[in-house]
Structure 1
Amino acid sequence: MTPIFALCDEYVRKLAVLDPVGAGARGIAGSFAPATDYGPDGHAARADLVRGTLAALDGLPVTSEADRHAAAHLRERLEAEAAWHASGGPLRMLRAQFGLVTSIRDSVDLLPRGDDDQWRNIAARLAAVPEMLASWRTSLELGASKGLVVARRQVLELAAQADRFAGIHDKLVTSYGDGRLAGELAEAAKTAHAAYAETARYLRTDYAPRAVEQDGVGAERYAVAARQTLGYDLDPAEAYAWGWAELERIEAEMAAEIDRIRPGATWQEVSAYLDETHSVDGVDAYHAWLRERHDRAIAELHGTHFDIAEPLRSVDVVIAYGSASGAPYYTSPSEDFTRPGRTWWPLQGRERFATWRELTTVFHEGVPGHHLQRGAEKTAAPDALSRFAKTVGVSGHSEGWALYAERLGDELGWFSEPGTRLGMLAASAMRAARVVIDIGVHLDLPLPDGSRWTFEKACEVLSERGRANSSRVHPEVVRYFGWPAQAISYKLGERAWLEARQAAARQPGFDLKRWHTAALALGPIGLGGLAEALEGVG
């Protein structure tokens, strides 16, 4: 192991000790404490680790191309993390949808549950929920004393989410049965549920009165957030203009697709028709459809456009009961693959599921999307990708690849069933709408007609221009408002991937399968270096 790879490994090991919840989410193997300290001391320890690792990296020799990639990725990610710490991020780390409270909740579900020793770890994690949430509140209180607070909308939305979590672990405890740990699990779940309820009370009663009404975070905080999600310094004015142009381009393509399905019909008429004719009823039927489509994609791609490693030729498909998210999501396999890659599908109160709209998301979350990309990183040889690269990614890189995967499905003719290509285009329109909503809201940029962004205007644009399902509109917009610059990583990431492929395709003898292999072997990288890294490949 080279000194740079050893430093990457050391950072991952030390971070796992300081952040066991994050370690579990990243699939890091090993036994760790049940709780992460989200208080000021815990954040300070993680910030010290970042600074110390960057200082150590400066003095290490680069002995190979793999070393160069490993060092560049480590430096870029840690510099972005250091900027977040310096901006006061840990003291206002509060957002609804995919925020800290959700991470704590999910960390319980991600733990293995085979023998009693593993169930005892689950009981310990459940029992640690009050401690973790209390430490987080300490950081929020310190932030509030310094005037570092978040938007009131996020506070109240998260309070409602925390209320829904009070009782969410009962299904897990019941699944254990009446073994010798049943009482311990039930008691631990009870304390966790009480902690979620107390968090909801704290947010509404103690924190909300000090929150700000303004949803946008402003240029300084947005620049820090964009660097975290994209891996380069964003030109927001250029991206905002491009987002509107891209949305108009997609709308024109959608109009042509609608005319092919039902000449002269409107979007509303065609989507209502497809909802009736290309949907499945009931959760069991929905789960079976998802399972079959994941398996079919893997079977059709392996050996043709990709060589899929054996551990990646299956993916767990999980119904996300109790999730308040408006969107499906993916969790990576663990380093040792004892925990498989999983796609998670929220129900959103539905009994009927429009498969014509959701096929494209199967490719996004599964194969050739997140499961293939992140799984390929996990299965890479230890001297090819550093342990840090296998566990810490860049949102623009991974979400951009997942949108590229949807586009590849279109190129391969996978949207041949009625309405499915329109579903893919509608999803693309939603991602373009995300770009303009996110940048526009947080930087207070005017809409093309000169009006200003509000929550209601964002919902309107996402619904009418982004063609989002009605059940997704509210949680999606809440997510954009609370997680600045994450929503733009999809479309801007896709743009970077397409530009990189177009540049490579101009070279003589270009081969798409070879390019895919090289692209996945590269591992995560900031979007600013993607085209250069893949120049001449394929």
Structure 2
Amino acid sequence: MTSPIFALADEYITSYARLDPAFAGSVGIKGDFGVATDYGPDAEAERARLYRETLTRLNALESTGPADDLARLHMAERLQVFVDRHDAGEWRRALKVPYGMLQNMVSYIDLAPRETENDWRLNAARMRAIPEMLATWRQTMNAGIDAGETVALRQALEGAKQARRNAESRVFDKHLKAYGDGSQAADLRGAAEAAYAAFASAAEYLEQTYAPHADPNDGVGEERYLLAARSTLGAVLDPHDAYAWAWEELHRIEEEMEAEAERILPGAGLTDVIAHLDATEAVETAEEYLAWLQAKHRGALEALDGVHFDIDPQLMNLDVQLVHGSSAGSAYYTGPSEDLSRPGRTWWPVADRERFRTWAELTTVFHEGVPGHHLQIGQSKVAGDGISRFAKVFGSVSGHAEGWALYAERLSDDLGWFTEPGTRLGMLKGSALRAARVVIDVGWHLDLPLPAAEAKRHGDRWNFDVALDVLTTRGRIAEHRAHPEIVRYAGWPAQAICYKLGERAWVAARDEAKAAAGADFDLKAWHTAALNLGPIGLDNLASVLRGK
């Protein structure tokens, strides 16, 4: 589609890529933008100027039809959030662990192409850019110190651990090994060593220079939290309503888990059933785990295509990667490159595990792959010219994306896919975890009291230990994931709520459409129309779908 609004969206992506080459490289935007992003204060101001100027120009343009209306609605909402976050000084708090700057630099290398000698030259250039990028990032962190706007002390110390782990685990050596002893081996080794030294220096900076100035409080307070929620949800949040609803939802899911456990081992109780499944439904090696993941992803693609969804052939290739030496507690997904030359990928942290519980992870296969993230994000890439380039490349809304992925887990249950022992309980356990995330995230950041019955069980007020207790005993999270999850909630306010609140929005929109259509409701057609819209904030989701 060609229109002034779509042309502006295209221009914005190209302009932003010039200001953030690392982002451009990570998401697969083609073009000569350089390799090093400047993360310093002046560069942050330049990016904010782009947000403002684009928003002003967007508001002056006339729409030519429904596709323009959607593109304008989405761009305006996202750009206004970007401006508001910059004006609030959030750019000075440029650290979140584990999914932030330090992980992004690893992903920047991991996502680089590695097929030709020119590709390997690009790998070396990207690794050599890491010291420069971390140096400019320090300038911004120092600006936060000067302004009295710092991240929490826990984030600083955990960030130091993450940076040091990147260095000590020699996180890029797997790529050097893959290259072998070719003509660029020495250059690649030198580039990797420079990156490791920069990570080690960043760890020292966070511990010795930044930490003494860091905020002693983990919670960010209501004002910052509501702004963060607008960013992650694309919605104005009522945190007190969300907090109360999530406790009710957690109780509902726990009752369903008890009933499911009774079907698996009558009379044993939920805790013993989980222990039984841990002992019996697992694979023993990383190699077996990878093979199991690949088979389940492939099976889901084949079962969905042509039956419940029409999957574009370009999306039938889904890569599965194990991640060693990562501080990430959870699996995650990276989308295809803009031109689809790089496939979508699911990434599965190994941590220190030697056994892998398959009963609890099948639901995550559906969440990260299909019908979850890969179908949703991939579909936006192949949807044609009905979606703006801004939406395809830059406009993801976490509440929309994570809400769909959790909805996809529920859909997989509706489709009868949890047939192996314990796998439906695994889906329910995952849903309980997402409800626990909401009560932890909202309660901790806003310092809300726990309900009386919960306070007797866990403690009167939220802190790290209470959050960890709720996550492990109510969310029943795997041990290797618990600590990094809590660290993540503290450093990325309002992201943990996206799953359950996003799912709630998706279910409400579907049920509204179903009630309106009655016997004529076509679920496959509704899903197709919904995914072809691309990303949208939750405040606009139902109304936009209603318009379809």
* Shared fold per TM-score greater than 0.5: yes
Contact 1:403 1:491 in 2 (8 A): yes
The one of 522, 525, 531 aligned to 1:520? 531
What's the secondary structure of 1:316's corresponding residue? strand
Give, in whole Å, the separation in 2 of the partners of 1:323 and 1:31: 30
Question: SS state of the match for residue 384, structure 2?
Answer: coil
What is aligned with 2:296?
A: 293
SS, match of residue 344 in structure 1: strand
1:276-328 Cα distance to aligned partner (Å, 9 max, x none): 21100100000000000000000000001100000111200000122111100
* Number of equivalenced pairs: 536
Q: Find out whether 1:487 has 2:505 as its counterpart.
A: no
Partner of 2:44: 43
Tell me the equivalent position of 1:464: 473
CA distance in 2, matches of 1:82, 1:424: 38
Please give the alpha-carbon distance, in whole angstroms, between the structure 1 residues aligned to 2:6 and 2:365: 34
Query: Cα RMSD between the aligned structures?
Result: 0.9
Alignment of 1:27-176 (within 5 A): 27-166=28-167, 167-176=170-179
User: Does the Cα contact within 8 Å between 2:433 and 2:475 map onto a contact in 1?
Assistant: yes
User: Distance between the aligned counterparts of 1:301 and 1:105, measured in 2?
Assistant: 33
Report deviation, 1:362: 0.1
Q: Distance in 2 between matches of 1:188 and 1:26?
A: 22
Q: Which runs of 5+ in 1 are unaligned?
A: none
Residue deviations 1:410-467 (CA, integer Å, cap 9, x gap): 0011011110000000000000000010001111101112511010000000011111
Paired with 1:417 and 1:143, the residues of 2 have a C-alpha distance of: 51
The AA in structure 2 aligned to 1:516 is H
**Which residue number corresponds to residue 26 of structure 2?**
25
Report which stretch shifted further, 111-120 or 17-26. Answer: 17-26
Does the 8 A contact of 1:439 with 1:485 survive in 2?
Answer: yes
What is residue 17 of structure 2 aligned with on the other side?
16
**Structure 2: gaps spanning 5 or more residues:** none
The answer (yes or no) to whether the contact 2:26–2:112 under 8 Å persists in 1 is no
Tell me the residue number matched to 1:312: 315
Aligned twin of 2:360? 357
- Corresponding position of 2:542: 531
Q: Answer whether contact 1:298 1:314 (CA < 8 A) is retained.
A: no
Q: 1:474 aligns with which of 471, 480, 483?
A: 483
Could you state the TM-score of these two structures normalised by the residue count of structure 1? 0.99
The answer as to 2:397 corresponding to 1:388 is no
Q: Which amino acid aligns with 2:504?
A: R
Q: In the TM superposition, what whole-angstrom CA distance separates every residue of 1:78-117 from its partner, at most 9, and x where no partner exists?
A: 0011111011111111111101111011101111111111
Give how far 1:536 is off. Answer: 6.7
Aligned counterpart in structure 2 of residue 219 of structure 1, from 194, 205, 222: 222
**Aligned residue among 522, 532, 535 for 1:511:** 522
User: Which is further off, 318-327 or 18-27?
Assistant: 18-27
Which of 229, 233, 236 matches 2:232?
A: 229
What is the Cα deviation at residue 355 of structure 1? 0.3
Q: Any idea what SS the aligned residue of 1:535 has?
A: helix
* 282-291 or 104-113, which deviates more: 104-113
**Paired amino acid for 2:281:** H
Match of 1:278 in 2: 281
Distance 1:30 1:250 in 2: 48
State the Cα distance separating 1:25 from its structure 2 match.
2.9
Partner SS, residue 374 of structure 1: helix
> In structure 1, how many angstroms separate the alpha carbons of the residues matched to 2:32 and 2:265?
57
**Aligned-partner Cα distance in 2 for 1:345–1:258:** 27
Note the C-alpha offset of 1:41. 1.1
**Deviation at residue 24 of structure 1 after TM alignment:** 2.6
| Deviation of the 1:275 alpha carbon | 1.2
Give the partner amino acid of 2:328: S
Moved over 3 A (4+): none
**1 CA distance for matches of 2:26 and 2:540?**
26
Q: Which amino acid aligns with 1:504?
A: A
Task: Pick from 422, 428, 433 the counterpart of residue 430 of structure 1.
Answer: 433
Q: What letter matches 1:108 in structure 2? A: I
Measure how far apart 1:268 and its partner are.
2.3
AA paired with 1:434?
A: R
Which letter does structure 2 place at the counterpart of 1:493? G
Identity across matched positions, percent: 56
- In the TM superposition, residue 118 of structure 1 has moved relative to its aligned partner by 1.1
Secondary structure, counterpart of 1:23 in structure 2: helix
Whole-Å Cα distance in 1 between the matches of residues 215 and 89 of structure 2? 16
Q: Do the aligned residues in 1 keep the contact of 2:81 with 2:230 (CA within 8 Å)?
A: yes
